[in-house]
């Protein structure tokens, strides 16, 4: 048994949790992990190369978003960018008001930061979503008040893959003079984005979600928005984010962004095809399942299904024995016994939310891997259901 497990090929379908580092990114990083170690903020000759490399990476990132390089601020990742945008965005506007709007399906980096702001005296409205996980524009319009200073709605959800109507939300926020932030960690380099066309004021992204390294990300801040610093202690990033620049990280992220955006259309087509094949097979071959999220307004790589009469944790264990690497809800939530706040927000009852499996596909996967994963999923669900007295009762009732 042990031997079999060791020799089995793992199938990685957890790209929403993190992606493998691209080889081109690693190659570009190597010099800055070795000989080119100088601090880009220094003024001696050895600082020149790292300084130029950071400048180039800033241009590579800005290009993907239709932004100006001066609007890109490097951070330690998506969590820091979200914290910075929300906390500093709220604080800079206290004279105007203390009301913030977020969606109820945000990543914990937003929901828990909003909880923190609430304790600090801000008022937070958490917009519900429809059964597909989309924010309703009518709800947003109703929630906006004279003292609303900040709206934060994610571009695409990390658990169910739903893509939000960001362009429309941006247009409303701009019209009303409200700061608009979007957590685009799952969307950046996965679907096309344009900060100008979408009226985005601030946007968070993270290197390790699109083939870059972990521990590096950025916050886009539109020119003219004087967002105060969040990290204090140095003049890096134009005085807005202190701390010695993570040169290898930034360089790797820049290369990953350039290559993934260059190949965006073909990757999207390939990944969407694998996603739709997965969805089609599960719906055809496994009874009593439910696709979570929107059928078309959906990230190319996301599949999230709930299966009745099975528990996500036992499915995860069983699939793991076959080398299938998937997730229940989000990686951050797994391990906790509470069902995902996202699945509850789209109206799933607790017991069904508990039986949910997310697969997140990338261009590194193959159709053969998808088929093997679905085969295993089917076998697992059948096996677990065959041991369930609830399922047995259910089948008996169906026959009556
Ligand atoms: C992964 C993720 C984050 C956190 O990014 P880190 O770089 O890992 O801190 C934030 N928001 C969303 C939607 C994510 O998927």
What is the whole-number distance in angstroms between the Cα of residue 76 and the centre of ligand 1? 11
Q: Give mean pLDDT, residues 258-281.
A: 98
Q: What is the DSSP letter of 339?
A: P
Cβ neighbours of residue 82 under 8 Å, at least 6 residues apart?
A: 107, 109, 110, 113, 183, 204
State the distance from the centre of ligand 1 to the C-alpha of 276, rounded, in angstroms. 25
- pLDDT per residue as tens digits for the range 319-358: 999 999 999 864 444 555 678 999 999 999 988 999 999 9
Nearest CA to ligand 1 atom 8: 78
Q: How confident is the model at residue 205 (pLDDT cuts 50, 70, 90)?
A: very high
Over pLDDT 70: what percentage of the chain? 96
Q: How far is the CA of 353 from the centre of ligand 1 (A)?
A: 22
Furthest-apart CA pair in the chain: how many Å? 84
Q: How far is CA 269 from CA 34, 142, 265, 398, in A?
A: 38, 37, 6, 40
Rounded to an integer, the average pLDDT of 100-107 is: 98
d(CA 297, CA 277): 17
Determine whether the shortest distance from the Cβ of 329 to ligand 1 is under 6 A.
no
- Of 18, 75, 107, the residue with max ligand 1 atoms within 8 A of its CB, to mutate for a pocket test, comes to 107
What's the average model confidence in pLDDT over 51-73? 98
CA distance 283 to 143: 37
**82: helix, strand or coil:** helix
pLDDT band at 11 (very low <50, low <70, confident <90, very high): very high
Active-site residue set: 332
206 Cα: distance to centroid of ligand 1 (angstroms)? 6
- Helix H, strand E, coil C: the string for 3-37 is HHHHHCCCEECECCCCCCCCHHHHHHHHHHHCCCC
For 245-259, the DSSP string reads --HHHHHHHHHHHHH
107 in ligand 1 pocket by Cβ < 6 Å? yes
Report the pLDDT averaged over residues 101-125: 98
pTM: 0.96
Q: What is the mean pLDDT of residues 348-371?
A: 95
According to the model, what pLDDT value does residue 337 have?
Answer: 65
Provide the b/e sequence for 162-185 (b: ≥16 CB within 10 Å).
Answer: bbbbbeebbbbbeeeebbbbbbbb
Does the pLDDT value for residue 114 go beyond 90? Answer: yes
Residue 382 β-bridge partners: none
Q: In the beta sheet, which residues pair with residue 305? A: 291, 357
pLDDT band at residue 30 using 50, 70 and 90 as cut-offs:
very high
Q: Whose CA is nearest to atom 12 of ligand 1?
A: 185
Q: Is 249 in the pocket of ligand 1 (CB under 6 A)?
A: no
Over 80: is that where the pLDDT of 255 sits? Answer: yes
User: Which tokens go with 290?
Assistant: 């439910």
């Amino acid at each position: 048994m042990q031997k079999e497990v060791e020799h089995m090929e793992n199938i990685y379908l957890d790209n929403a949790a993190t992606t493998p580092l691209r080889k081109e990114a690693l190659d570009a990083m190597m010099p800055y992990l070795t000989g080119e170690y100088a601090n880009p903020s220094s003024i001696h000759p050895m600082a020149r190369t790292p300084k130029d490399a950071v400048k180039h990476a800033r241009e590579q990132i800005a290009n993907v978003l239709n932004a100006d390089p001066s609007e890109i601020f490097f951070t330690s990742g998506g969590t820091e960018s979200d914290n910075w945008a929300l906390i500093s965005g709220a604080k800079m506007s206290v004279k105007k008001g203390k009301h913030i709007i977020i969606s109820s399906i945000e990543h914990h980096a937003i929901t828990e930061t909003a909880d923190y702001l609430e304790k600090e005296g801000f008022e937070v409205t958490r917009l519900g979503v429809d059964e597909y996980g989309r924010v309703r524009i009518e709800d947003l319009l109703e929630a906006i008040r004279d003292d609303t200073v900040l709206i934060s709605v994610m571009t695409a959800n990390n658990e169910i893959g739903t893509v939000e109507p960001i362009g429309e939300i941006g247009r409303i926020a701009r019209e009303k003079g409200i700061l608009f932030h979007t957590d685009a960690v799952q969307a950046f380099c996965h679907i096309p984005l344009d900060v100008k066309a979408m009226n985005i004021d601030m946007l968070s992204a993270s290197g390790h979600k699109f083939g870059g390294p972990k521990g590096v990300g950025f916050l886009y801040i539109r020119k003219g928005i004087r967002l105060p610093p969040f990290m204090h202690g140095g003049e890096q990033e134009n005085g807005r984010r202190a701390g010695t620049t993570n040169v290898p990280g930034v360089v790797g992220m820049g290369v990953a962004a350039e290559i993934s955006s260059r190949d965006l259309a073909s990757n999207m087509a390939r990944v969407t095809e694998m996603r739709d094949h997965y969805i089609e097979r599960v719906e055809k071959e496994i009874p009593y399942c439910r696709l979570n999220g929107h059928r078309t307004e959906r990230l190319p790589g996301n599949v999230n299904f709930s299966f009745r009469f099975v528990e996500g944790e036992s499915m995860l264990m069983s699939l793991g024995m076959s080398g299938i690497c998937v997730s229940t809800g989000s990686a951050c939530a797994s391990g906790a016994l509470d069902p995902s706040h996202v699945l509850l927000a789209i109206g799933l009852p607790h017991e069904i939310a508990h039986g949910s499996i997310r697969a997140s596909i990338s261009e590194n996967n193959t159709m053969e891997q998808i088929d093997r994963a679905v085969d295993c999923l089917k076998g697992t669900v059948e096996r677990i259901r065959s041991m369930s007295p609830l399922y047995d009762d259910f089948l008996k009732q169906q026959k009556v």
